[in-house]
Amino acid sequence: MQNVIPIRRTILILFAAALAAGAALAAAPKAQATHDSRRTPDNVYIATEFGHQYRVGADNLNAGTAVKQVSPLAGRILDMVDKGNDPNGYPLKRVDFSNNNIMAANNDCNGVTIKSDPNATGSIWIIYLPGDGHLYMVPRACNNGDYDKRMGADNTLGHQWEIKGSPPPSGFYEKLVLDLG
């Protein structure tokens, strides 16, 4: 019976020490999570933020193919290739399909198409985050300095993604999300 008391006391001491250590960890200041709101993930689906949330897709990945609105359950995984920043600090990205062809503004800056040349006009996108809580994609080749030409959709399955001025016309969804799937 004499050995029972020291064992109980040792267990109680160890239990109290574990509780104290847990309390100290809980009371310790938490490391601040840093988040750069201008950083974008590399492999994403691009979709409209509102409406049917259609994703970027295409019938095939050949150059000259229109980039279309497809089901939220479909879409193409896109590689957002870092190309630095614009003069205002917004990220510049080239958006590559799986075959390394490029999502680009067409030469008239009114639609989105697939191009094969990574240096083609319209192949670089500004990820515009103006502080309103939304993300916009602006083709650098169509930007006149005020980010008013933006990629968006009319929220109709199968229709081509377009480039429109801002403010957008009624029924044009220019607020986008980068969806990790």
Q: Is residue 1 part of a domain?
A: no
Q: Is residue 61 part of a domain?
A: yes
Total domains present in the chain: 1
Measured CA to CA, the distance from residue 99 to residue 56 in angstroms comes to: 15
Looking at per-residue confidence, does 163 or 41 come out higher?
A: 163
CA torsion angle 109 137 123 148 (round to 10): 40
> Cβ of 11: how many Cβ atoms within 10 Å?
10
Kindly state the helix (H) or strand (E) to which residue 5 belongs, with its residue range: helix 4-27
pLDDT in the model for residue 72: 87
Q: Is residue 34 part of a domain?
A: no
pLDDT band at 41 (very low <50, low <70, confident <90, very high): low
List, for residues 59-89, the tens digit of each pLDDT value. 999 999 999 999 988 899 999 999 999 999 9
Domain range spanning residue 65?
43-179
pLDDT band at 12 (very low <50, low <70, confident <90, very high): very low
Q: Is residue 98 part of a domain?
A: yes
Q: Is residue 27 part of a domain?
A: no
Provide the b/e sequence for 15-41 (b: ≥16 CB within 10 Å). Answer: eeeeeeeeeeeeeeeeeeeeeeeeeee
Here the CATH number for the domain that contains residue 90 is 2.80.10.50
Q: What is the distance of C-alpha 165 from the center of its chain?
A: 21
Q: Is residue 4 part of a domain?
A: no
Q: Is residue 13 part of a domain?
A: no
Q: Is residue 26 part of a domain?
A: no
